Structure 1
Amino acid sequence: MPRVDELVAYPLKSCDGVAVDRAAIGPEGALRGDRSYALVEAGVDPEAASVGGGGGYVNGKSEPAIHGLRAEYDLAGATDATPTAVTLTRPETERAPAEERTFALPDEGDALADWAGEYLGYDVDLVRDPAGGFPDDRAAHGPTVVSRATLEAVASWFDSVADATEMRRRLRPNVVLGDCPAFFEDRLFADHGEGVRVAVGETELIGVNPCQRCVVPSRDPDTGAEIEGFRETFVRKRRETLPEWTDGDRFDHDFRLMVNTVVEERAWGDALAAGDAVSAEDVVAVDENGTPVADGDSAAE
C-alpha cells in the first residue's frame, strides 16, 4: 500500500523546505506553518498580488536570485512548521557581501526584509499569514502530493538533475509518497466538478487537479541556472510515459505534475505523519473551489 514517505513544509515561501515527521493541518487546509511568510515587493498587498510571476511576490517565477538564498528554521512545535526564527545565507553580489544572519520572527521581520532587499537590489516587505499561508493555488490550499517514483522518473529525463531529492527540491511538494509506481498521484484527481477522496492515516485529503508547472522546476534550486529546453523535454517525456489511469479532463496539457488538494473543515486540526498509509477512495462532486457539495446538489450550480 502507498504510504507517506516524506513531509516537507516551506515556512518562507520560495525558500528552502524543511522535512518534518508530523504536520498538523491548519485553518484553510494547508500544513500548519507552510508558506506562512513570504517576500513581496515593497508596498504590495499579497492578497491582490499574482503568484504567477511578475505580480509582486518575490518568488522563483519572477526572481531567479531567490534561489541563491539558503534557509534553516526554528519551528514553533512538533507539528507546527511556523518559523520562530530563520537563518538565511546569501552569496556575495556587487550589491551585498556574502553573509549569514538569524532573524527572530515575527519581531525581526523588517530587518529580514531590509537584509533580503540589499541582496536583491530593491525594497521588499516580509508578509505573514499564520492561518492559511500564501499557497500558489488559492482555491486548493491543501498539501501537494507526488510519489518518490515519479521524482525518480522525471529526474532521469535530465542529465543535469542529480536525483529524486533534487527533483523534489525543484517541484516543491508537501507530501512525497512511497511504495507506489511512478505517476501514482495521477489517480488522485478526476474530471472538472469532481474530486477524489484520499485517505491518509486517520484523516483525508481531496485531490482536485494536477498542478500546472512553471519555470521554477527548470532552475537549479541552489543557483537558479536554467536547463535549456526543459519544458519541451518534460512535455515530450510526460506524454511518452503517461499511464493509462491519467484520463481526467483536468489533464488538458502535458506540462502538469503533482496533485493539488483541499481539506474539508472537519479535518482541520488533524495531522499527517511519515509512514501513514494512503489510498484513493471514492470520487465526489465538488464546487469550483474543490469543496465537496452536499448530496443532491450540483457541482455546476
Structure 2
Amino acid sequence: MTDTAYDVQGQIAGLWIYPVKSCAGIAVQQARLSRHGLQWDRHWMVVDANGEFLTQRSLPRMALIRPEITADSLLLHFAGQSSLQISLLAQGGKCKASVWSDTVHAWDLGEWAEPARAWLTQVLGADCRLVRFDPAQPRQASERWVSQGQAPVHFADGYPLLVLSQSAVDELNHKLEQAGETPIDARRFRPNIVIAGIEAHDEDRVEQFDLLDDLHKLSGLSLQPCKPCTRCPIPDIDPDTAVQGVAVGQSIRRYRQDSRMDGAITFGMNTIVLGLPDVEGASVQIELGQSLAGNLRFD
C-alpha cells in the first residue's frame, strides 16, 4: 500500500521501448530511465534520401519491422527476410535529419549504412536509410510545454516519454465493442509506460507521478505529464498486420476532443522526467509492477 495522502495510486503494467522510430516496440520487464526517456528508445530512425523522417503514416509496413536489442547489436526482423544486424557501437559520419520542424544531428552508421539502406528499401519498397541519434548534439522538448527546465529527447516526436492509463484503453474497447468493432490493445498508441489501477485518462489530470520504491518516493524521481498527445492515423494501423482501418480514430473522435489542443483528438500524455541530475549517464531502473502515485491538478 502506498501513501494514502496521494489522490491517485497505480502500478506500471507495461514498459515499451521503440528502438527504431515508428517500427514495432519491444515489451520489457525493466528498463533504465534517464532524462531522455527509456534506454534505447528512438535511438534510430528511418529517413528518406533528403533526411526527412519516415513513419507508419506513409509506410504502414514499418509496423511489421521488429527490432531486437542484444548484448552488442541492433537486430531488425521482418517476415520472409533475413534479419539485419547492426553493431550497437556503429556511428559512422555526421549527418543531419529532420523530425517534424527540428533538424537534428545524427550518425550515418558508416560501414553498416549500405546494408541497412538495401534491407529497408527491400522491406518497405521505398528508398530509405537508417540513422542514429548523436547524443553529443542535444535536442530539447518544446519550451511551451515544459515548465521545469529543459527536457532532452532523442528521435521521439517531441518528448521523452508517452504515458497511458490501461483503463483508458479499456474504456475505448468498451465503446468499440458497443459499436460492433474488434477491441484493441495499448500498442496502437505506442506508449512507453502503461499504468494500471488508475481511472481512465487520470494521466491528463495528475500534476506528476512520483515513482515509489518500498512505499517511499524513489530518490525524488517523478514523471510529469506536460502535453496531451494529439493523434494521427497510426492508432488505426493494426500492429500485427499493418492493415489500416478507421474504427479507432472514429471512436476516439467522438469523445476525446481536447480544448487544451484547440479541439484536436488526444489520447495519452507526453511526459518528462524530473529528479535526475543533469549529468551524462544519470539513470535509474524501473520495472513492471512498480508503484507510482500522484495528486490531481486543479486548474
Query: What TM-score comes out, normalization by structure 2 length?
Result: 0.70
CA contact (8 A) 1:6 1:175 kept: yes
Write the mapping of 1:115-130 to structure 2, written as runs, cut at 5 A. 115-129=119-133
Match of 1:25 in 2: 33
Match of 2:17 in 1: 9
Q: How far has the Cα of 1:126 moved from its partner? A: 0.6
Write the mapping of 1:42-191 to structure 2, written as runs, cut at 5 A. 42-44=49-51, 56-67=52-63, 69-76=64-71, 84-90=73-79, 98-106=80-88, 107=90, 108-129=112-133, 131=135, 132-137=153-158, 141-158=159-176, 162-163=182-183, 166-188=184-206
Separation in 1 of the partners of 2:287 and 2:200?
21
Question: 1:30 corresponds to which letter in structure 2?
Answer: G
Task: Provide Cα deviations, 1:1-39, integer angstroms capped at 9, x if missing partner.
Answer: 31111111111111111122222223x432121011111
Separation in 1 of the partners of 2:297 and 2:166?
24
Question: 1:204 corresponds to which letter in structure 2?
Answer: S
Separation in 1 of the partners of 2:203 and 2:297?
14
Match of 2:235 in 1: 217
Q: How far has the Cα of 1:168 moved from its partner? A: 1.3
Match of 1:206 in 2: 224
Separation in 1 of the partners of 2:259 and 2:247?
26
Q: How far has the Cα of 1:109 moved from its partner? A: 4.5
Closer/same/farther in 2, CA of residues 153 and 66 from structure 1, 3 Å limit: same
Matched residues, percent identical? 24
Deviates more, 1:141-150 or 1:275-284: 275-284
3-state SS of 1:158 partner: helix
Match of 2:252 in 1: 234
Closer/same/farther in 2, CA of residues 30 and 179 from structure 1, 3 Å limit: same
Separation in 2 of the partners of 1:184 and 1:104?
40
Gaps of 5+ in 1: 45-55, 77-82, 91-97, 189-195, 240-247, 285-301
Task: Provide Cα deviations, 1:46-96, integer angstroms capped at 9, x if missing partner.
Answer: xxxxxxxxxx212112222323x33141245xxxxxx82213114xxxxxx
Q: How far has the Cα of 1:251 moved from its partner? A: 5.0
Match of 1:295 in 2: none
Match of 1:244 in 2: none
- Specify which structure has the higher proportion of strand: 2
Query: What TM-score comes out, normalization by structure 1 length?
Result: 0.70
Alpha-carbon RMSD: 2.8
CA contact (8 A) 1:58 1:66 kept: no
Q: How far has the Cα of 1:275 moved from its partner? A: 1.7
Q: How far has the Cα of 1:184 moved from its partner? A: 1.9
Match of 2:94 in 1: none
